[in-house]
Chain A
Amino acid sequence: MHHDFLDKYSDLDTPLHRLDARIKMLSAVALLVAVVVTPPRQPAEFILFALLLALLTLISRVPVLHIIKKSLILSPFILLVAIFLPFMKGGTTLWEGHFVVPLRISQEGIYIFLNVVCKAYLALATMILLSATTPFIQILHAMQAFRVPRLVIMILSFMYRYIFLLIDEAERMLTAHEARRFGLRRRRKLTSFGQLVGVLFLRTYERGERVYQAMTSRGFDGTVRVMERPRLTTTDGLLAALFITLLAIIKVLGALLYV
Chain B
Amino acid sequence: MHIPDGFLDTKTWMICLGAAGIGLAVVVHQTNRQVRERIVPLAATVGAFVFVAQMINFPVGGGTSGHLLGGTLMALLFGPWLAALVMTVVLLVQCLIFQDGGLLALGANCFNMAFVGVFSGYFAYQLLWRLLPRRLRVALSAFLAAWFSVVLSAAVCSMELAFSGIVPLKQSLIVMTSVHTLIGVGEGLITAAILAALYRQKHAVVPATERAPVTRWEYLFGFGLLCVIGLFLAPFASPLPDGLEKTASQLNFLSNEQTIAPSVIPGYEFPGVHSSFLAVLLAGLVGLFLVLAFTYGLLRLTQRRSAAHEGRKTDAP
A120-B5, A166-B49, A186-B61 known; A222-B36 Cβ under 8 A? yes
Q: Does B171 sit within 8 A of A, measured CB to CB?
A: yes
Contact check, A84 vs B198: say whether CB atoms are below 8 A apart. no
A194-B197, A215-B41, A222-B37 known; A127-B99 Cβ under 8 A? yes
Q: How many residues of A are counted as interface, with CB atoms below 8 angstroms from the partner's CB atoms? A: 80
Question: Given the complex of chains A and B, what is the CA–CA distance between A82 and B161 in angstroms?
Answer: 11
Q: Does A259 sit within 8 A of B, measured CB to CB?
A: no
| Closest residue on chain B to residue A78 by CB atoms | B4
Task: List residues 57-111 of chain A with CB under 8 A from any CB of chain B.
Answer: 70, 74, 77-78, 81-82, 84-85, 87-90
A139-B96, A222-B37 known; A84-B2 Cβ under 8 A? no
Q: Does A36 sit within 8 A of B, measured CB to CB?
A: yes
Q: Does B56 sit within 8 A of A, measured CB to CB?
A: yes
Question: Given the complex of chains A and B, what is the CA–CA distance between A155 and B41 in angstroms?
Answer: 7
Residues of A within 8 A of B56 (CB): 170, 174, 196-197
Contact check, B194 vs A197: say whether CB atoms are below 8 A apart. yes
Residues of B within 8 A of A195 (CB): 193, 197, 200
What is the minimal beta-carbon distance from A118 to any residue of chain B, in angstroms? 8
Question: Given the complex of chains A and B, what is the CA–CA distance between A171 and B26 in angstroms?
Answer: 36
Task: List residues 1-44 of chain B with CB under 8 A from any CB of chain A.
Answer: 2-10, 13, 24-25, 28, 32, 36-44
A120-B4, A221-B37 known; A162-B48 Cβ under 8 A? yes
Q: Does A42 sit within 8 A of B, measured CB to CB?
A: no
Residues of A within 8 A of B128 (CB): none
Question: Given the complex of chains A and B, what is the CA–CA distance between A37 and B193 in angstroms?
Answer: 44
User: A205 is contacted by which of B166, B190, B205 (Cβ under 8 Å)?
Assistant: B205
Q: How many residues of B are counted as interface, with CB atoms below 8 angstroms from the partner's CB atoms? A: 71
Contact check, B103 vs A32: say whether CB atoms are below 8 A apart. yes
What is the minimal beta-carbon distance from B130 to any residue of chain A, in angstroms? 24
What is the minimal beta-carbon distance from B168 to any residue of chain A, in angstroms? 6
Contact check, A74 vs B99: say whether CB atoms are below 8 A apart. yes
A158-B44, A197-B194 known; A131-B96 Cβ under 8 A? yes
Question: Given the complex of chains A and B, what is the CA–CA distance between A136 and B94 in angstroms?
Answer: 12
Residues of A within 8 A of B40 (CB): 151, 154-155, 158, 222, 224
Contact check, B104 vs A155: say whether CB atoms are below 8 A apart. no
| Closest residue on chain A to residue B101 by CB atoms | A77
Question: Given the complex of chains A and B, what is the CA–CA distance between A74 and B256 in angstroms?
Answer: 38
A128-B99, A202-B201 known; A89-B168 Cβ under 8 A? yes
What is the minimal beta-carbon distance from B164 to any residue of chain A, in angstroms? 10
Question: Given the complex of chains A and B, what is the CA–CA distance between A99 and B316 in angstroms?
Answer: 55
Contact check, A123 vs B198: say whether CB atoms are below 8 A apart. no
Contact check, B45 vs A204: say whether CB atoms are below 8 A apart. yes
Contact check, A207 vs B7: say whether CB atoms are below 8 A apart. no
User: B103 is contacted by which of A28, A119, A170, A212 (Cβ under 8 Å)?
Assistant: A28
Known: A207-B45, A215-B41; 13 extra A-B contacts, CB below 8 A, are A37-B10, A74-B98, A82-B7, A123-B103, A127-B95, A152-B92, A156-B92, A197-B56, A197-B193, A205-B45, A208-B41, A208-B45, A220-B37
A-B contact pairs, 9 of them (CB 8 A): A35-B6, A36-B104, A117-B6, A120-B4, A124-B4, A128-B99, A131-B99, A166-B51, A197-B194
Chain B interface residues (CB < 8 Å from chain A): 2-10, 13, 24-25, 28, 32, 36-49, 51-53, 55-56, 58-59, 61, 68, 85, 88-89, 92-93, 95-100, 102-104, 161, 166-168, 171-172, 175, 189-190, 192-198, 200-201, 203, 205
